[in-house]
């Protein structure tokens, strides 16, 4: 019989049920679901997707694309044009051409924005699909790795250290399972979970000992459990429903918003001014009103959303080809703006392949007994087997006959980043129990009261302690990482082991590991430095090993800061140290997070590269969290950017791609803002002395349309090498300065064109000055004037894109891409031929005489020369162009 979908999860019921009761409720077993049962469970209990993450419906995307502040102005102008030219006039004088052109502009702007928005969403989903957070489930009596979204109620899930909890799960079995629930409860410390306790009603759902919840992650230990809630029915999903759907805005989104408001402010100022001036000077207030609205449109970059989206999509797909997956498209700008990269040492600066070089007793001699004890610790612990554990197990299997090492695991005390050690308790076939502990050498010396010298246990005196430390220091100076191994026979009562048992232990020896630097690390760090990115190493490793590695990769023998030195510092003191020093050792996860946060507060754009559980808090605190495809689930979930290879060279290429994407966006915004502002400033001047409108509303709109279509090529342009050398931040104020400096340069030549057309060319063609002509001759005079300014304005506005795209001399020292050159040239050709066509005549443009073209070439050459000079002055003043 078909069940109804669960709407409210009864955690109290599940916590009290036995394992068999849970199996019966969800029609499953310890062997997992069958393929047929999976489909039925999905239909009954729903999918494992959080409701707030649903994609935006197409009609909503369409509305957002067509209803923007910019298109609303166009629609308003179109309605007024439709009424004044298509409805109010007599039947023989009705003209729908103007409103038709405006409709085309709205359609082109909205459709292009919609197409790019859909492409953006598809590209983002495609990129995200390359990085899967997975879970291990048992289906058809086989363990399988599947995406979290495919989990269903009744699935038997296997959990181990580093895993994200994929759904709400009732534990069936657990061993030393510690869970971080900070995302749900805010608790900073992990909590232990157990499958054995059947709980009654608790004060909160997260307090149940035998339930774990989506949104939390496994710190250590292992477990198996049955999924009891998925998607919106989970505790995390319930919390998500109550949250605002509006995410925190990135600096990129804030920049776009501020820029849009900047344009709107200019519109609000310029449009009324133009209306008033033309109303008083020309006497036709309706025409002045239409003209003022068209000026407002001329000031706005209608294609801004489309150009921005195209840049982001192109940037993200290009970066993906180079091994960098952008999970959040809006993170691209921050990625390119990174000026401080914080990174762990292991696997980032080093090869991520640790080799066990030595297993030594306390006198520094090779000892297989030390290796055997280390093997027991690594083999039987159920936490995340890190590279050290793997190296120990592999080395033991090569040197010893592991089939004769027969022990039974009794208990364990998982690793945590405060103690920096972990312990297992094992029992041999005689019934003797041993606690074996391994960890950082300083921490191991703290819990050891005795030392084993050649089988004889003696007190660990200060003299012996110093002897051990001297030997460890020698190994550290050679770049070897050292951990200690200690043991205690018949420790506590079985089942009651705790951290308190890690005391009065016998230090039996130490292990030395080699983690050599990557071949590309030195080159990558040099490249990052050349590109304005400072690198700070934030590691939990000790000073000597870190110093050795850093020296090999070219970071030099810089001063090193220890985590213990930071414990009692104020935020102000820590901020000063975070700025001053670049190498930090013996840090716990909270200290990594704190340093990252303080660097951000101090004005830096911070990236954090990590792959472990201990890196996740710092990645969330950074402007850009960066991880790798092989990272633990919680690290991948926290990241904005995923590297398909853990290589700083890949990261450096990604940062440069981010800067290029941002540069192309700024290129469009600044060039368009300045040229549009210049054009409208020219309109104000012309309106003051011309007896007619300097350009008809439709002509302004069509000019804007040709220019904006030409701008579609900008995402395919390249940035100068020099631009990519420094991080760039979004500052809306710089756009205003750019407009004021570069905008009036075009006005100078617009005004010379007015004078040329009004006093020389038009009178020469028509046969007299404007006021001495008949009405038909005046109409011809105006049409030629409009055509002259239309063509000059299009040439100057389009060619200035090439001038302002680079601080260098355009076309000579720096050239646009082939695509940009071809499309902008086509735009100029179309606009130049327009006055000679019937369509141009309908727009009110007259045929230009031959002498005009010589003046045009001189004007454009002088304009580009002036732009280049003003551009140099601007760069000297503000130390940047884009």
Q: List active site positions.
A: 344
Exposed e or buried b per residue across 181-210, where buried means at least 16 C-beta atoms within 10 angstroms of its C-beta = bbbbbeeeebbebebeeebeeeeebbebbb
Q: Are 333 and 500 in contact (CB under 8 A)?
A: no
Q: Describe the crossing of helices 304-321 and 97-129 by its angle, rounded to 10 degrees.
A: 30
* Backbone phi, psi, residue 250, to 5°: -80, 165
Q: Are 510 and 437 in contact (CB under 8 A)?
A: no
Q: Sign of the C-alpha dihedral, residues 249, 182, 324, 124? A: negative
Q: Where are the alpha helices (DSSP H) in 283-324?
A: 285-299, 304-321
């820590």: which residue's tokens?
574
């003051």: which residue's tokens?
688
* Backbone phi, psi, residue 778, to 5°: -65, -40
Please, is 393 exposed, middle or buried when counting C-beta atoms within 10 Å of its C-beta (0-12, 13-18, 19+)? middle
> What DSSP line would sit under 491-513, residue for residue?
-S-TT---GGGS-SEEEEEEEEE
Q: Sign of the C-alpha dihedral, residues 241, 246, 248, 252? A: positive
The rounded distance, in Å, linking the Cα atoms of 817 and 749 is: 27
Per the rule left: phi > 0, alpha: psi between -120 and 50, beta: everything else, 569 is: beta
Close Cβ partners of 444 (under 8 Å, ≥ 6 residues apart): 421, 437, 438, 483, 484, 485, 486, 505, 507
3-state secondary structure of 142: strand
Q: Are 220 and 180 in contact (CB under 8 A)?
A: no
The pairing of beta strand 583-585 with beta strand 560-562: parallel
Q: How far is CA 144 from the centre of its chain?
A: 30
Torsion of CA 166, 170, 176, 182, to 10 degrees: 50
The token duo for 59 is: 């009609």
> What DSSP line would sit under 431-455, residue for residue?
S-EEEEEEEEHHHHHHHEEEEEETT
């Amino acid at each position: 019989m078909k069940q109804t979908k669960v709407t409210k999860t009864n955690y109290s019921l599940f916590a009290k049920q036995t394992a068999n009761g849970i199996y019966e409720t969800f029609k499953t077993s310890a062997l997992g679901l069958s393929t047929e049962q999976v489909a039925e469970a999905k239909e009954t209990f729903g999918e494992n997707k959080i409701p707030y993450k649903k994609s935006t419906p197409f009609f909503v995307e369409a509305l957002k694309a067509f209803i923007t502040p910019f298109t609303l102005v166009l629609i308003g102008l179109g309605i007024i044009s439709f009424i004044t030219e298509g409805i109010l006039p007599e039947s023989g004088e009705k003209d729908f051409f103007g409103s038709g052109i405006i409709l085309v502009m709205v359609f082109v702007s909205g459709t292009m924005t919609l197409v790019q928005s859909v492409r953006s969403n598809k590209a983002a989903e495609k990129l995200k699909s390359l990085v899967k957070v997975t879970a291990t489930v048992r289906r058809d009596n086989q363990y399988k790795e599947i995406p979290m979204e495919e989990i269903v109620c009744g699935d038997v899930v296997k959990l181990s250290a580093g895993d994200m909890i994929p759904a709400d799960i009732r534990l069936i079995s657990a061993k030393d399972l510690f869970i971080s629930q900070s995302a749900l409860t805010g608790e900073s410390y992990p909590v232990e979970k157990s499958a054995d306790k059947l709980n009654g009603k608790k004060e909160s759902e997260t307090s149940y000992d035998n339930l774990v919840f989506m949104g939390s992650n496994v710190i250590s230990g292992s477990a198996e459990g049955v999924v009891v809630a998925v998607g919106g029915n989970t505790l995390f999903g319930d919390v998500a429903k109550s949250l605002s759907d509006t995410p925190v805005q990135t600096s990129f989104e804030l920049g776009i918003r501020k820029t849009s408001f900047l344009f709107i402010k200019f519109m609000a100022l310029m449009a009324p001014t133009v209306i008033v001036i033309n109303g008083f000077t020309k006497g036709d207030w309706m025409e002045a009103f239409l003209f003022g609205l068209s000026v407002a449109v001329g000031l706005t970059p209608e294609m801004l959303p489309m150009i921005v989206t195209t840049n982001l999509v192109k940037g993200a797909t290009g970066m993906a080809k180079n091994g960098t997956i952008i999970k959040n498209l809006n993170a691209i700008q921050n990625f390119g703006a990174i000026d401080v990269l914080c990174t762990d040492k292991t696997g980032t600066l080093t090869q991520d392949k640790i080799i066990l070089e030595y297993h030594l007793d306390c006198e520094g001699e090779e000892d297989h007994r030390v290796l055997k004890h280390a093997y027991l610790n690594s083999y039987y612990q159920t936490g995340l087997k890190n590279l050290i554990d793997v190296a120990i197990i592999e080395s033991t299997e090569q040197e010893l006959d592991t089939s004769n090492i027969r022990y039974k695991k009794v208990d364990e005390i998982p690793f945590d980043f405060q103690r920096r050690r972990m312990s297992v308790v094992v029992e041999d076939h005689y019934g003797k129990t041993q606690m074996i502990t391994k960890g950082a050498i300083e921490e191991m010396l703290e819990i050891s009261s005795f030392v084993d010298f050649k089988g004889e246990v003696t007190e660990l005196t200060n003299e012996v302690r110093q002897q051990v430390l001297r030997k460890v220091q020698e190994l550290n100076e050679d770049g070897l990482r050292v951990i200690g191994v200690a043991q205690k026979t018949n420790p506590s009562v079985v089942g009651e082991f705790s951290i308190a048992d890690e005391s009065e232990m016998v230090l039996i020896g130490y292990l030395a590991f080699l983690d050599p630097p990557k071949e590309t690390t030195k080159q990558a760090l040099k490249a990052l430095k050349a590109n304005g990115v400072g690198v700070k190493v934030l590691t939990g490793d000790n000073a000597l090993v870190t110093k050795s590695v850093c020296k090999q990769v070219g970071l030099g023998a810089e001063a090193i800061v220890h985590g213990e030195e930071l414990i009692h510092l104020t935020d102000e003191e820590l901020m000063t140290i975070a700025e001053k020093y670049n190498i930090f050792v013996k840090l716990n996860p909270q200290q990594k997070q704190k340093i990252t946060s303080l660097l951000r507060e101090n004005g830096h754009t911070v990236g954090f590269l990590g792959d472990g559980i201990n890196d996740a808090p710092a990645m969330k605190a950074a402007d850009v969290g960066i991880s790798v495809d092989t990272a633990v689930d919680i690290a991948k979930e926290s990241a904005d950017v995923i590297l398909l290879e853990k290589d700083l060279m890949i990261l450096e290429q990604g940062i440069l791609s981010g800067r290029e994407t941002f540069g192309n966006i700024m290129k469009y915004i600044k060039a368009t803002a300045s040229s549009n502002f210049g054009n409208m400033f020219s309109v104000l001047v012309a309106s003051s002395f011309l007896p007619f409108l300097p350009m008809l509303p439709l002509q302004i709109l069509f000019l804007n349309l040709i220019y904006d279509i030409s701008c579609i090529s900008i995402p395919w342009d390249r940035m100068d090498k020099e631009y990519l050398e420094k991080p760039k931040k979004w500052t809306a104020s710089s756009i205003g300065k750019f407009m004021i400096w570069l905008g009036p340069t075009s006005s100078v030549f617009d005004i010379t064109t007015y004078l040329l057309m009004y006093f020389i060319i038009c009178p020469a063609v028509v046969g007299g000055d404007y006021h001495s002509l008949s009405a038909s001759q005046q109409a011809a005079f105006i049409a030629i004037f409009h055509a002259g300014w239309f063509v000059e304005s299009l040439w100057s506005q389009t060619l200035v894109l090439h001038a302002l795209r680079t601080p260098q001399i355009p076309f000579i020292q720096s050239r646009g891409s082939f695509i940009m050159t071809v499309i902008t040239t086509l735009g100029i050709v179309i606009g130049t031929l327009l006055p000679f066509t019937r369509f141009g005549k309908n727009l009110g443009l007259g045929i230009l005489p031959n002498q005009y073209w010589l003046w045009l070439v001189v004007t454009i050459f002088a304009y580009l020369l002036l732009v280049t000079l003003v551009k140099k002055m601007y760069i000297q003043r503000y130390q940047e162009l884009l």
